Amino acid sequence: MLTTAVFAICITAPLGAIMIYTLGTKWLEYDGDDPELLAKHGIERSSNTQNDSERQPVREELEVQDISANGVDQT
């Protein structure tokens, strides 16, 4: 019984991942915030919010820390 369960998981898990990867982009599509849903939850969409097509990708500069062995005795 345990062997059958493990075998079923080993077969269905990869198939499920492939199905989600291929069909997820076709079935799930973001088409903006729903004004009715926002109003229901009491959230106002700010007027300066840009449409998805107008948004620029966010690029942040990361601070790099020096993790070299300065000050550590390497004898």
Domain residue limits at 31: 12-45
- Alpha-carbon distance 7 to 4, whole Å? 5
Residue 66 lies in a domain: no
Please give the tally of structural domains in the chain.
Answer: 1
The pTM (predicted TM-score) of the whole model is 0.38
pLDDT tens-place string over residues 37-63 = 888 888 776 655 555 556 665 566 667
Identify the sign of the CA torsion 37, 41, 47, 50: negative
Residue 40 lies in a domain: yes
pLDDT tens-place string over residues 9-18 = 999 999 999 9
